[in-house]
Amino acid sequence: MGDVRSVSRAVRLLLWGILLRVASGTRADDLDFNGTIISLDAEGRTFEALGGCDGRIVAGGTKAAVAEKLRPGFAAVDLRGRTVLPGFYAAHDPFPDSGLNELSKVELNGPPIGAIRTMDELIAALKRKAEAIPAGGWVVSWGYDDTLLAEGRHPTRADLDRVSTRHPVWIVHISGHLGVANSRA
């Protein structure tokens, strides 16, 4: 009978522990081992094991050394020789838009990225594109910068009507938040 009570108490404590852990938002520690962990830190260190606690890396080194720094009950993951690198974070890179821009749109950036310095140069660049495609085809551009144009202003619909009246023209500012269209568009 005493054994049954002890087990019952242990189960209750375990459930309370799980409940408290879930409620506090903490996660089990984890130990990744048997890998090649390239830290890319200032010293260029490479580790065989990595320790995590509450979603953060807390230790790198040998398996034994990392294990000492984790709370009991950590989850162990055998990397089986795999390589681990720091996360690559690129939340705002408009991939593959950069490729689409280069392949299909007219380059209107000013120096040092591009070569457009005046409104006439901007119009000429667009005109070259319009002359290369059939009437009705869209002339699209990205990257003009009013602050780098000698005129110090945005192009207008009238400016873009000088490019073509037979092609719709749409150019987007370097910021991506403003665009200008010609009358045909």
Partner 1 sequence: MTKATEPPRGGRIRLDPQTGEPKGAFEEAGALVGIHIPGYAAEQRQAAIRKG
Q: Which residues are near partner 1 by CB under 8 A?
A: 95-100, 102-104, 138, 140, 154, 156-158, 160, 168, 170, 172, 177-183, 185
Report the residue number, 69 or 127, with the smaller CB distance to partner 1.
127
Report the residue number, 61 or 137, with the smaller CB distance to partner 1.
137
Smallest distance from partner 1 to CB 131, Å: 19
Smallest distance from partner 1 to CB 151, Å: 15
Report the residue number, 20 or 181, with the smaller CB distance to partner 1.
181
Report the residue number, 111 or 176, with the smaller CB distance to partner 1.
176
Smallest distance from partner 1 to CB 102, Å: 6
Smallest distance from partner 1 to CB 118, Å: 19
DSSP of 74-124, one letter per residue?
A: -EEEE-TT-EE-PPP--SS--TTHHHHHHHHSEE-PPTTTS---SHHHHHH
- Give the long-range contacts of residues 116-120, CB within 8 A, separation 24 or more: 116/144, 116/148, 116/149, 117/148, 117/149, 117/150, 118/149, 118/150, 118/151, 119/149, 119/150, 119/151, 119/155, 119/159
